[in-house]
A and B are shown apart, each in its own frame.
Chain A
């Protein structure tokens, strides 16, 4: 820790820190409290308060349980697919192979493209008759007339594939950053001892990038859990709620149907999920700090 000479002053750092702090307080924390209170109001202009009706109605509803299940499928699918691919990409990226520097900006493209635009592209890829993904799905499923976005399973597959495509770059960067911190001497020493590259990965790279892996996975988890826009733009939650993850349900309840109390209740579910992941993340962060 590098400390400045004027160590005791609290005024200067407070003045510098305050604007950002206030922005966060006013736009994250202040709306949150009435927002959570909203979930406890029964629907309608003169709703009762407090009331658990939003929760009991949601939990009693088969559609909502399906929404939650789809959210889980979505998160597990995206994180499960993106992690190994991002790992491989980051290992390649940090090799510093001559002539491969150009690859970095191409590799990061999916992160830079607007989510709604790439959703639109995937919608087209799995849309009309001659579209490549449609053809591929037909080949795999053996159904010559399959319309992927009219079929719950293939629609969800497309949604996961799209978010997987978008998530790989960020995770790759995180992992590459982690790999770059490993001193080259470690690998050199292992090499002189005759360790194979697989052994070196398993005993050096992997354990030393565990924290980066955890952070990367949790970032992708959080983004996927709250992602409404790509699903909304790709399938609109259809066909027949087949891709309606909880975040999309929230989005539609609030901004398409104006059911703000229901939306707030769904929001509290997502917030609880998000908080769980946050603690998991903080926990793993602290643990690795001790071991380092």
Chain B
């Protein structure tokens, strides 16, 4: 009896989580003006329309560059900083609680000054600007996750390495890195999902049409495609596929990272 109740509740929760997405898929597959809940006929017309145009590939490429670029910045930085925080007592240790507090500040406040600042250093309206802003945004949380992962690696392993004459950095490379791999997976999930989905930095820091990323393009289309819901939804579904796929494969590590985060 109790078991059935649990099952029912879980199905209810999952249903609520997934239903809006199913609605989006339904709309993207329906002919224009479809009125029933389950469409009477399915069409791939909307997808064909989007995929036949060059702009989609351009924007998807930009999104990929920004996401992978941010990952390339955040992963090594957070591994190094997380390791330092987990294994040493130094001036940075006092900064650690502040690190976790950064994401609690409203990022949007920093946008206006950031625009002026990027103008000064000549990066405004470029993909590197997006990479740096996104990286700065993701770093605090990732450092914290890495710190917690390193904590779970036994120190004795490193001591053995030190005794064998490893330098600090080859230690990091040969012993810590392999054992911190789950942490890097968690960082990968977090950064990819956050950066790929980010709209606000893209809107604020780039203006050129050729530099658009997918979420910004989606919002742009709301204005111009107003009633073409099928097309808009197809665009939306294509945009959400990469993060959802990455998450499905790597979520195990991310969940572990979250657990570590809170148990420490």
Chain A residues in contact with chain B, CB under 8 A? 1-5, 7, 9-10, 12-14, 16-17, 19-21, 23-24, 26-28, 30-36, 38, 85, 88-89, 92, 95, 97, 99-100, 103-118, 120-125, 127-130, 132, 165, 168-169, 173-174, 176-178, 180-181, 212, 215, 218-219, 222, 225-226, 228-229, 232-233, 247, 250-251, 254-255, 260, 263-264, 267-268, 270-271, 273-275, 277-278, 281-282, 285
Q: Give bound CA distance, A270 to B109, whole Å.
A: 7
Report which B residues bind A (CB closer than 8 A). Answer: 3, 6-7, 9-10, 13-14, 16-18, 20-21, 23-24, 27, 35-37, 73, 76-78, 80-81, 83-85, 87-92, 95, 97, 99, 101-117, 132-133, 135-136, 139-140, 143, 151, 155, 158-159, 162, 168, 172, 193, 196-197, 199-200, 203-204, 214-215, 218-219, 222, 229, 232-233, 236-237, 239-240, 243-244, 247-248, 251, 255, 258-259, 261-263
The distance in angstroms between the C-alpha atoms of A129 and B33, with both chains bound, is 10
Measured between beta carbons, the chain A residues less than 8 angstroms from B99 are 24
A174 and B237 CA atoms in complex are apart in Å by: 28
Further 13 A-B residue pairs, CB within 8 A, beyond A10-B90, A180-B263, A254-B111: A2-B151, A3-B89, A13-B87, A35-B116, A92-B9, A105-B251, A109-B18, A110-B20, A120-B222, A124-B24, A125-B23, A165-B17, A225-B106
Of the residues A33, A89, A92, A114, contact of B243 by C-beta under 8 Å: A114
Report the bound CA distance from A2 to B109 in whole Å. 38
B81 touches A17 (CB 8 A): yes
Inter-chain CA distance A180–B108, complex, in Å, is 34
Contact B106 A222 (CB under 8 A): yes
Q: Which residues of A contact B204 (CB under 8 A)?
A: 254-255
Give the residues in chain B near A19, CB-CB below 8 Å: 76-77, 80-81
Contacts of B107 in A (CB 8 A): 226
Which residues on B sit within 8 Å (CB–CB) of A2?
87, 151, 155
User: Bound complex: CA of A130 vs CA of B33, how far in Å?
Assistant: 10
